[in-house]
Structure 1
Amino acid sequence: MKLLSFIANGRTSFGAVKDNGVVDLGSRMTGCTTLRQLLEAGRVAEAAKLAATTAPDHPLDSITFAPVIPDPGKIICVGLNYRDHVAETGRTVTEKPALFVRFPCSQVGHLQPIMKPKVSDDFDYEGELALVIGKAGRHIPAGRALDHVAGYSCYNEGSIRDWQRHTSQFLAGKTFAESGSFGPWLVPTFLGT
């Protein structure tokens, strides 16, 4: 199953991809108006059953993709997360990863244009794997960490390189409006029974 957030007929919702169309789950699942709410409520199995028995409401090519989670509580990114990238930046591998944040306004949905800011000509793409956390937790043992991952998605983590290099902090080059793309959809890790 593939879950997504979308806009159709001027209305924002979330749904499931089915037969080259979208089943609008947001209009059918009481108490869940966003994909984030569905994940937090632990209702993915219910959504999967509903999608399996419902005809698509919209052709996939008629919707506008929104960021998979348009209303995130936070977006935490891991920088320099593979050896080749560390080497190309001239840095060294460290025991602790470099972390930085992005803001919701810095992302758009799949097939939406990402924007190069006027203040820079050093705009770069970075294909990333996004992990969406669906279950809250704290002080989670490493062996149980993946129990909290609701699913996976694609992320074009656009970087404004000259601004990113202004300081040792990445934040300045990662937060320009509409500079990254999130989607097209979330592939859940577990559907339940």
Structure 2
Amino acid sequence: MKLLQFKQNGKVRLGIKVDEGIIDVAAASEAWELNAPVSLEELIHGGAEWFAALEKVIAAAADKRGRPYVLDDLDIIYAPAVTSPQKIICVGLNYRKHAEETKSDIPTSPILFNKFANALSAHGDSIQLPHTSNEVDYEAELAIVMGKTAKNVDEAAALDYVFGYCCANDLSARNLQRRTSQWMLGKTCDGFAPLGPYIVTADEVGDPDKLSISCSVNGEQKQSSNTADMIFSCKSIISYISQHMTLVPGDIILTGTPEGVVVGKPKDQRVYLRDGDVVSVQIEKLGELVVTMVSSH
């Protein structure tokens, strides 16, 4: 199932992406008098019962009388795929070729840092370039959305705790990232964690460690790889984090970026993101996440 959030009259609503468009879950549920979750948070915490309810919503919306509740993709304003996570945890240098291009040692344990909710943004958003940086870089990433509380989880069972996966862009202000040994300042500027366009549930994705991943800027491909190049797999990342802190439903894990980022190029070839640049992240089975960078001046 492909799930998303969109904005309408100042409120965030739950949607389901189907071939015909976007189902407005609340509107369809009300019309057909169905008891279904009306928010992503409610769904994530509700389990299998709520998924069964959404299947009924999909069936009702597919009926010819349900068509008014199927919206066109172009008619909606997307919200971040997850709007209120307790934690946003990121993994640095997790692709072998990316570590090599930045001349970094191959990590022996996951390098963890964080972003905050102020960094969340959505498919279709315009993201302001911070006035404190002219070195903003793109990073296509696979995001894990947790669906169950996970503490001290074994690798073998780790993926059972996943709700779904989505595209992410770990936007990074490199000059701020380098300022100290802590990367946080360069990673959590406003809007620097686009997520979307939707979450694909774990059952539809299958193996998250075998997905093609790419990034383009203004239509020119900059990154092209596969999650198979990750040093630490999704299950090992979840297990590792859960040994140190409890993961809860709705938490987001960004799993690292492949080679091809600006900072990996020779200094005389680095062209950082500028006003008007359109950045697209594409991941197999997960769709395309597009944002536009805009000047702060």
| TM-score, with length taken from structure 1 | 0.91
Q: Report if aligned partners of 1:14, 1:24 keep a CA contact under 8 Å in 2.
A: yes
Whole-Å separation in 1 of the counterparts to 2:201 and 2:131: 37
In the TM superposition, what whole-angstrom CA distance separates every residue of 1:26-59 from its partner, at most 9, and x where no partner exists? 4537584421220121123432332233233422
Whole-Å separation in 2 of the counterparts to 1:48 and 1:115: 38
Answer yes or no: is 1:24 the counterpart of 2:31: no
Query: Which residue does 2:191 correspond to in 1?
Result: 178
In the TM superposition, what whole-angstrom CA distance separates every residue of 1:44-103 from its partner, at most 9, and x where no partner exists? 343233223323342211111111011111111111110121122222012111111111
Structure 2 residue aligned with 1:47, among 50, 54, 73? 54
Whole-Å separation in 2 of the counterparts to 1:178 and 1:17: 24
Query: Which residue does 2:5 correspond to in 1?
Result: 5
Q: CA deviation at 1:115?
A: 2.0
The RMSD of aligned alpha carbons is: 1.9
Q: Report if aligned partners of 1:67, 1:184 keep a CA contact under 8 Å in 2.
A: yes
SS of alignment partner, residue 53 of structure 1: helix
Query: Which residue does 1:72 correspond to in 2?
Result: 85
Q: How does 1:124-135 map to 2 (within 5 A)?
A: 124-135=137-148
The number of residues matched between the two structures is 191
Whole-Å separation in 2 of the counterparts to 1:179 and 1:115: 9
Query: Which residue does 2:40 correspond to in 1?
Result: 35
- Residues 20, 173 of structure 1: CA spacing in aligned structure 2 closer, same or farther, 3 A cutoff? farther
Query: Structure 1: which amino acid aligns with 2:154?
Result: P
Whole-Å separation in 2 of the counterparts to 1:101 and 1:34: 25
Whole-Å separation in 2 of the counterparts to 1:158 and 1:20: 32
Q: Which runs of 5 or more structure 1 residues have no equivalent in the other structure? A: none
In the TM superposition, what whole-angstrom CA distance separates every residue of 1:147-179 from its partner, at most 9, and x where no partner exists? 011111000111111111112222111110012
Whole-Å separation in 2 of the counterparts to 1:26 and 1:156: 29
Whole-Å separation in 1 of the counterparts to 2:16 and 2:123: 15
SS of alignment partner, residue 17 of structure 1: strand
Q: CA deviation at 1:114?
A: 2.0
Whole-Å separation in 2 of the counterparts to 1:10 and 1:58: 17
Q: Report if aligned partners of 1:164, 1:171 keep a CA contact under 8 Å in 2.
A: yes
- Residues 98, 33 of structure 1: CA spacing in aligned structure 2 closer, same or farther, 3 A cutoff? same
Whole-Å separation in 2 of the counterparts to 1:61 and 1:139: 43
- Residues 31, 100 of structure 1: CA spacing in aligned structure 2 closer, same or farther, 3 A cutoff? farther
Answer yes or no: is 1:145 the counterpart of 2:152: no
- Residues 84, 123 of structure 1: CA spacing in aligned structure 2 closer, same or farther, 3 A cutoff? same
- Residues 90, 35 of structure 1: CA spacing in aligned structure 2 closer, same or farther, 3 A cutoff? same
Higher helix residue share: 2
Deviates more, 1:15-24 or 1:69-78: 15-24
In the TM superposition, what whole-angstrom CA distance separates every residue of 1:101-130 from its partner, at most 9, and x where no partner exists? 111111211011122101100000000011
Q: Report if aligned partners of 1:115, 1:179 keep a CA contact under 8 Å in 2.
A: no
